[in-house]
Structure 1
Amino acid sequence: MYIDFNSANKCDFAKVIFTTKELDMSLSDDREKLCENVNFNFDNLTYNKQVHGNDVVVVDENNIGNIEEADGIITNIADVPIMVFVADCVSIAFIDVENKVIGCVHAGWRGTYKEISSIIINKMKNIYKSKVENIKCIIGPAIDSCCYEVSHDLVEKFNTKFTNLSESLYIMRDEKYYLDLFKINELILIRNGIKRENIFNPNLCTYCDENTFHSYRRENGTSKRMAMVMQIL
């Protein structure tokens, strides 16, 4: 039903999970089933209408449960689960282990290109006085470079923007281009000051593992969704 990332989290105040294809998180019944299973407060579950942008919503006592157009969400309130939906895109959890702040983002190629991770880190710093050395990040399952074929134009778009990154952002195979969203997002995190040892990425490919994950590409544009869900306990 879900992958428990608490061993990667290594903090006792927050729980991070990632759902599998046993649930369709686009359905309210399945969202409630998950919350009951992991002891999250379903009544306070808060998520966005995702638009492939880089806006980040700050959840406080006044907007719990509101649905806004954004692709990131942060809070320091206990008993309020926050969530992003995915079906191939990258999800990233952010945990300030010192100030007890959590956040998560949905980063497809557009959100990655717009550096939504930079936005959420800056909001954590500015609003909650987080220090980057205290932020741990967990990268959820997504389509990996083994399967994420893209156009040459998109590869060049990334190459042009991220000219100062020393590592290759894609691989070539049989004269086709495969973008590495995992690597790009990791490099963005590191460029923002996140310690490499504080980034956990199991490199799980949603496209490859059809027994465990939904995949938008593999399933021809499926409406079914998985989710990264986290809560301060």
Structure 2
Amino acid sequence: MDKFINVKDIKDNIDFVNLAITLKCINAKSKEDMLKVCNEGKFTFENLTSNIQVHSDIVNSIDENNIGQKLEGDALITNVKNVPLLIFTADCVPIAFIDKKNKAIGLAHAGWRGTYDQIGKKTISNMVSKYNSNVEDITCVIGPSIGPCCYEVSKELIEKFNTILTNKGENFYIIKESKYYLDLWKINELILRDAGFKSENIINLNICTSCKCDSFHSYRKHDKTDERIGMILEIK
């Protein structure tokens, strides 16, 4: 049984990283499960590094001194080889950042709070300041997460996002049968483009975890499950 998926566009075009997203048969919060994934996917398990995720905009920089430490935050960046970064999601948006020129990487966990606080843009800013990254050299991957087809929210949350997106000129929600559905994919893409990303450097897998709940953990579809999808990224 497959335990994870590789991102083909990354595997074919960017050969210095290893990127995978775990499937429903794996709980990324389980060390035993992640050992299986790392062994099969050729990730360096002993250096696996993740955050204590708190729905924040905190970005932690990982170097030789804090490999494996669990810090509060919702994004990770590094330029150290053989240090797999790991974030946990189950409807929230996982975003990978890969700097092809300076050989640096980042991962961000963007729920609606992290998205509102523009954690994607803050992850990029930290890569620029720490590793001299240039937005033009970064490829971004938006992984499996709840799509606008399924993410029903309150009108108040739509209005909250409207305060930061009023000048973007693109719809970030849809209305069906008087219900509001937020498009976290679109919002994160708008935030990334506002940070200088070109559309061709943003790879959206367009996989809805609620629609594809047979393949991925979904907090909403699976009765507030505490099991998680893992997005794992390592410089080889």
How would you bin the TM-score normalised by the shorter chain? over 0.9
Is 1:161 equivalent to 2:161 in the alignment?
no
| SS of alignment partner, residue 170 of structure 2 | coil
Structure 1 residue 7, shift from structure 2 partner: 2.5
Is 1:225 equivalent to 2:221 in the alignment?
no
Structure 1 residue 86, shift from structure 2 partner: 0.3
Structure 1 residue 210, shift from structure 2 partner: 2.0
Is 1:37 equivalent to 2:40 in the alignment?
yes
- In structure 2, distance between residues paired with 1:12 and 1:52: 31
- In structure 2, distance between residues paired with 1:161 and 1:211: 34
Please list, as runs of the form range in 1=range in 2, the aligned pairs for 1:125-144 lying within 5 A after superposition: 125-144=128-147
Identity among equivalent pairs (%): 49
Q: Of the candidates 70, 74, 79, which is equivalent to residue 76 of structure 1?
A: 79
- In structure 2, distance between residues paired with 1:38 and 1:64: 20
How many equivalent residue pairs?
233
- In structure 1, distance between residues paired with 2:159 and 2:139: 31
- In structure 1, distance between residues paired with 2:184 and 2:157: 12
Q: 1:6·1:16 contact (CA, 8 Å) conserved in 2?
A: no
Q: 1:45·1:81 contact (CA, 8 Å) conserved in 2?
A: yes
Is 1:123 equivalent to 2:126 in the alignment?
yes
Q: Of the candidates 10, 16, 40, which is equivalent to residue 13 of structure 1?
A: 16
- In structure 2, distance between residues paired with 1:210 and 1:113: 25
- In structure 1, distance between residues paired with 2:10 and 2:106: 16
Aligned match of 2:6: 4
C-alpha offsets along residues 127-163 of structure 1, whole Å, 9 cap, x if unaligned? 1110110000001000000000000000000011221
- In structure 2, distance between residues paired with 1:211 and 1:150: 23
| SS of alignment partner, residue 117 of structure 1 | helix
Q: 2:18·2:43 contact (CA, 8 Å) conserved in 1?
A: no
Runs of 4+ residues deviating >4 angstroms: none
Structure 2: which 5+ residue stretches go unaligned?
none
Q: 1:87·1:214 contact (CA, 8 Å) conserved in 2?
A: yes
Structure 1: which 5+ residue stretches go unaligned?
none
Q: Of the candidates 103, 107, 115, which is equivalent to residue 106 of structure 2?
A: 103
- In structure 1, distance between residues paired with 2:163 and 2:133: 31
**TM-score for both structures, normalised by structure 1:** 0.98
C-alpha offsets along residues 78-132 of structure 1, whole Å, 9 cap, x if unaligned? 0000010000000000000000000000000000000001111111111111011
- In structure 1, distance between residues paired with 2:206 and 2:224: 22
- In structure 1, distance between residues paired with 2:173 and 2:5: 27
- In structure 2, distance between residues paired with 1:7 and 1:168: 27
